[in-house]
Amino acid sequence: MVKCIFTANWNLYKMELIGREDEKQALLKYCSSSKSEFVAVYGRRRVGKTFLIKQYFNNEFTFYQTGLNNATLSEQLENFANAIKKYFKVKKLPTVNSWFEAIQVLISFLEKSTAKKKIIFLDELPWMETKNSRFLTAIEYFWNSWASARRDIVLIVCGSAASWITNKILNNKGGLHNRVTGRLKLNPFTLLETKHFLNAKGCTYNNFQCVQAYMVFGGIPFYLEQFDKKLSATQNINKLCFGGKAFFKNEYEQLFKSLFIKHERHIAVVEAMAKKNKGCSRQEILKHIKVADGGSLSRILLELEESNFIRKYPSYPKKSRESVYQLIDFYSLFHLKFLKHASSLDENYWLKTNNTSENLAWAGYAFEMVCLHHVPEIKKALGISGIQTNTFAWFDRKAQIDLVIDRSDQVINLIEVKYSATEFLITKKYEAQLRNKIGTFQEVSKSKKATWLIMLTTFGLKASPYNSLAQDTIDIEAFFK
């Protein structure tokens, strides 16, 4: 387990966290700052935002408050008052009837605090903003009129609704415009971090089993936390996803419901994208959904992108300015492929059908997604980490390339991704298909750059006279270095 220790004038803490090295360094910087800091933490639901902050500060805050889901203004204020009583050790407070009054009470106690750095953590911020509550206006007052003028405040705000944090805090057009001094977007674990996390739970998996787990759950800590160390990755997937008592039986609906207002529209967009693996254009999305083109769809796409459900990349070759949108959330892809109608499936479905053609076809695409999420590791394995690149999938009616790395040094890497439980064999027939892919890409793209084929497989290549077509080969070990 990774250990991090930092020291400041105001205290000493020991934390145990898997990964999150960049985030820990950022938090250290904010806590060591000579001015007050306003930090927004955001990211996909279940990605570990609250856990990171609580573990980093060892649950020792000057003040901590979490919003209540579906609560009234009076209930939120009562909850806030109870938190003040707890953290400042008082038994009675004056009655507060608005967020302005509540914030004023908080300020009065913070001014009496002797802590050299006052860490204030407001979690599930979107839930506190009930209708007509003027909660955000009170936060504006807290920061602009009091905290920002001091040097000892670290205000950390967080919420699962990444779109709310983005729209109301980061892109605020009112009193909080450009007030945030620090942004922490928490991304899912990498494969290496996932392996460390599972190992810390006692799951002694090899790299291939970690890849199998990642293809279903991605690097989402909450999902991985449910793994039973006594079961293999395949057994855990089966137990958690299939059958009437499956832990993730209702996760898909709850996931979107907790993140987005009118979440049905976000689900519609996601399911439209799921129809095309390599992604689809804005116009193709509109063919499948009932959302007016313009602001509504743009907002939905931005919110999904901010929450790491989709990615946006330019079409190639750039015949038009239109971008391609691709669904990249592993659990959503798995749900839509297998679990949407799981009530009719056997509770041991995954164990019985793991090697069927349907499941292997899904595994092939899911492994492509794994590679897409680990482009830095691929670049490192190729020795091109320092080279500027653009990364995308490419498809044409004659051929498609799983992953293209367009390099600034006059080279284009065409990455052919193959999922296999053993070493992959390039046959004479398959070599002809690869040559056709390379030729079609060169013809359609009209690029003058050198075009190099890279084979990226789970366990490398079997000996074959046709292997020389590939400029280089990579296997999953590259993701764990």
- CB atoms near residue 359 (< 10 Å): 16
Beta-carbon contacts of residue 197 (< 8 Å; ≥ 6 apart) = 18, 19, 189, 221, 224
- Residue 8 has a pLDDT of 38
Would you state the pLDDT for residue 341? 73
What is the per-residue DSSP string for 71-103? --HHHHHHHHHHHHHHHHT-S------SHHHHH
What's the token pair of residue 160? Answer: 């699962």
Mean pLDDT on 247-257: 89
Query: Residue 460, class by beta-carbon neighbours within 10 Å (0-12 exposed, 13-18 middle, 19+ buried)?
Result: middle
Instruction: Please say if the pLDDT value at position 13 is more than 50.
Output: no
Cα separation, 374 vs 363, whole angstroms: 17
Q: What percentage of residues in the chain have a pLDDT greater than 70?
A: 94
CB 445 within 8 A of CB 426: no
Contacts of 457 (CB under 8 A, 6+ apart): 417, 418, 419, 420, 423, 424, 473, 474, 475
DSSP secondary structure string, 112-157? T---SSEEEEEESHHHH--TT--HHHHHHHHHHHTGGGSSSEEEEE
Per-residue DSSP letters for 32-84?
A: T-SS-EEEEEEESTTS-HHHHHHHHTTT--SEEEEPPTT--HHHHHHHHHHHH
Read off the pLDDT band of 319 (50, 70, 90). Answer: low
- CB neighbours of 206 closer than 8 A, spacing ≥ 6? none
Q: Structural domains in the chain?
A: 3-186 (3.40.50.300), 251-337 (1.10.10.10), 375-481 (3.40.1350.10)
Backbone φ and ψ for 93, nearest 5 degrees, come out as -130, 155
pLDDT in tens, 50-87: 999 999 999 999 999 999 988 999 999 999 999 999 99
Query: What is the rounded distance in angstroms from the CA atom of residue 424 to the CA atom of residue 66?
Result: 51
The residue type found at 39 is V
453's CB contacts (< 8 A; 6+ apart) are 413, 414, 416, 434, 438, 469, 470, 471
pLDDT at 179: 95
Instruction: Provide the pLDDT for residue 24.
Output: 94
What are the pLDDT digits (tens) for 77-113?
999 999 999 999 999 998 899 999 999 999 999 999 9
Q: Between vectors from CA 243 to CA 240 and to CA 244, what angle results, nearest 5°?
A: 105
- Which stretches within 233-291 are classed as H helix? 233-241, 251-259, 263-273, 282-286
Higher per-residue confidence, 8 vs 252:
252
Determine the Cα–Cα distance for residues 76 and 351; give it in Å rounded to an integer. 46
The residues with which 39 forms a beta bridge, in sequence order, are: 156, 182
Q: How far, in Å, CA of 331 to CA of 63, rounded? A: 35
Q: Which of 110-124, 192-206, 276-290, 340-354 has the lowest mean pLDDT?
A: 340-354
Task: Compute CA distances 153 → 25, 180, 236, whole Å.
Answer: 18, 13, 44
